[in-house]
Amino acid sequence: MALTPTADLIADAAAHETGIGAFNVIHLETAEALVAAAERSGLGVILQISQNCVAYHADATASADAPASDGLDPIALACLALARQSTAPVAVHLDHAEDAQLARHAIDLGFGSVMFDASRLEYAANVEATATIAAYAHENGVMVEAELGEIGGKDGAHAPGVRTDPDEARSFVAETGVDALAVAVGSSHAMTAREASLDLDLIARLHTALDVPLVLHGSSGVPDDVIVAAIRAGMTKINVSTHLNGFFTRAVREFLDENPTVVDSRKYVRAGRAALSAEAERMLRLFANAGAASAVASSEGAAL
């Protein structure tokens, strides 16, 4: 199937009223694990590279005054290469880019979509900045996601209880021309316990109010059964990062505890990659089956 436009994967999930997994890449081994999960399941996956991930990779070589985009090329080109070689449909997406230059660079590299996050700005400034990126992306055939109603947890900056207003969301989409909207409905970034409660009624109202797909950020803190209910209420793109990172890290710790003399990092990183891949496959299947009446939450991934 090879590299696939993000818009195609999201449109297919929306048409079938199911969910599509959008999983964050931290390093090459993460990307390999996610692509392998897609291939085993026969389902599509969206590889997400966040601005934080770009900054991490830039730390290795860039000077202090280097632009944010300097760390993007190595990890981005690796993900694009994996996608092109895959037997499963794989899209590559830029996640939570607050830097307009970084968003433009991802578009120029051939990403299928970018998430431009100007949610920290006042509404009018958010609209202006997002519309500018959306126009550039659309000129290049790239899908744009934005955020309205800040998702909690990022740097402790967002107050609990923030929610996206359906009327404001409708206006925002019309004014910016974005193709998907991340909405605040009760989830929070970087949660390590799966105990978040979502406002399913609000999700349904947002789904009715908007003609673009809804995106759930902070899904790591949401139990399986609640994610399934959210998909049934109208969520389409389901973002997961911390939850999968937990599987990777625990597997590495376990391997090193059992093999304290090992110094070859490939051996313990392989264990982490395998554990993350297995859980990613399970989640891809969960999201894809969420629209079916028989879909049930698996207890296997019920807690971190």
Give the count of alpha carbons within 13 A of 230, CB side only: 31
Element (H, E) at 224: helix 224-233
- Length of the chain measured in residues: 304
3-state secondary structure of 50: strand
* Nearest to 185, CA basis, from 223, 221, 151: 151
Answer yes or no: is 176 within a domain.
Answer: yes
Quick one: pLDDT at residue 122?
A: 86
Q: Which of 95, 179, 199, 224 is catalytic?
A: 95
* Nearest to 23, CA basis, from 292, 230, 246, 268: 246
Q: Which domain holds residue 12?
A: 6-301
What is the chain's pLDDT, residue by residue, as a tens digit (304 residues)? 689 999 999 999 999 999 999 999 999 999 999 999 999 999 999 999 999 999 999 887 655 566 666 789 999 999 999 999 999 999 999 999 999 999 999 999 999 999 999 888 888 999 999 999 999 999 999 999 998 865 444 433 234 467 888 999 999 999 999 999 999 887 554 444 455 668 899 999 999 999 999 999 887 778 899 999 999 999 999 999 999 999 999 999 999 999 999 999 999 999 999 999 999 999 999 999 997 544 443 333 433 3
* Nearest to 96, CA basis, from 33, 22, 166, 160: 22
117 given a catalytic annotation: no
- In order of 10, 73, 183, 188, the CA distances from 146 in angstroms are 15, 23, 9, 16
Backbone angles phi, psi at 218, to 5 degrees: 70, 30
The rounded distance, in Å, linking the Cα atoms of 277 and 30 is 8
Q: Which amino acid, one-letter code, is at 208?
A: T
Answer yes or no: is 1 within a domain.
Answer: no
What CATH number did the domain enclosing 19 receive?
Answer: 3.20.20.70
Backbone angles phi, psi at 293, to 5 degrees: -65, -25
Tokens representing residue 175 in the block? 């004014």
Tokens representing residue 256 in the block? 């090193």
Tokens representing residue 10 in the block? 């999201």
Answer yes or no: is 118 within a domain.
Answer: yes
Answer yes or no: is 114 within a domain.
Answer: yes
Quick one: pLDDT at residue 167?
A: 92
> Radius of gyration of the chain from Cα atoms?
18
Quick one: pLDDT at residue 184?
A: 87
- Is 241 within 8 Å of 151 (Cβ atoms)? no
The rounded distance, in Å, linking the Cα atoms of 29 and 33 is 6
Answer yes or no: is 146 within a domain.
Answer: yes
Tally of domains in the chain: 1
